[in-house]
Amino acid sequence: MRLLCLPKSFSFHFQKVNKQQRIMAQSFGTGSNTGKKLIRIDVSSDSVCPWCFVGKRNLDKAIAQSKDQFDFEVRWHPYFLDPSAPKEGVNKKEYYEKKFGSRAQGIFARMTEVFRNVGLEYDISGLTGSTLDSHRLIYFAGKQGLEKQHALVEEIYLGYFTQGKFIGDREFLLESARKVGVEGAAEFLENPNNGVKEVNEELEKYSANISGVPNYVINGKHQMSGGQPPEVFLRAFQVAAK
């Protein structure tokens, strides 16, 4: 079963990151003011990757089950499944039928089943296109707090995957920002240059050496990928904390 949104074939793995990736990961302490060990998770994802949303839901479930043991710090970083996706948007269903050909209907059916297993209704309606503005906004939210960033990622996924929202719709993005308390989003997105440099820097720093998403680096040392079930994340937390 494919667990990643991929530009090409890729498989699940859980391994220590290489030296270059370890240097890229920001350092942090081994504890916090609560006395619990800190688990830091750097997530590379794209806003139109369904397995990224499934992975987030399962990650959230694993974090909720582990909060008595660990403190968590989750940071979201950009990845572009299709860097050439049009800004103006194209019909989502037709785009994926063109991309996947005869496999498209099977993929739609499979994702519908997977989403229902995490309490969601998969919606293939609406438009898809460039995810740059969503990544700019996610970066901006992170400057106001990681909890706001995490909540914004959820709202964007909910809109795009379950409500037929267009990922490039400025009003949809601003509505998502308002829901989670991100301030100044309209002014930030109004200037098309805001956040582009930072998105490209994060893309190079966290996502240049991966081939698919979602991708997770835990405590700067351990890498795993795919929309894995909660128990896989739980085991990963234990390994990373040792």
Q: Is 137 exposed, middle or buried (0-12, 13-18, 19+ CB in 10 A)?
A: buried
pLDDT at 112: 97
pLDDT at 6: 60
- Give me the mean pLDDT over the 202-219 stretch: 94
Dig out the tokens for 172 from the structure. Answer: 């949809």
For the ranges 29-38, 57-66, 114-123, 152-161, the lowest mean pLDDT is seen at 29-38
pLDDT at 2: 55
Alpha helices in the chain (DSSP H): 19-24, 50-66, 92-100, 104-117, 132-143, 146-162, 170-179, 185-190, 196-202, 230-241
pLDDT at 32: 56
Q: Has this prediction a pTM greater than 0.75?
A: yes
Q: Does position 76 have pLDDT exceeding 80, yes or no?
A: yes
Digit-coded pLDDT (tens) for 151-169: 999 999 999 999 999 999 9
Do 161 and 56 touch, CB atoms closer than 8 A?
Answer: no
Q: Does position 188 have pLDDT exceeding 70, yes or no?
A: yes
Q: Does position 175 have pLDDT exceeding 50, yes or no?
A: yes
Q: Is 54 exposed, middle or buried (0-12, 13-18, 19+ CB in 10 A)?
A: buried
**Of 1, 21, 6, 16, which Cα lies nearest the Cα of 204?**
21
Digit-coded pLDDT (tens) for 108-137: 999 999 999 999 999 999 999 999 999 999
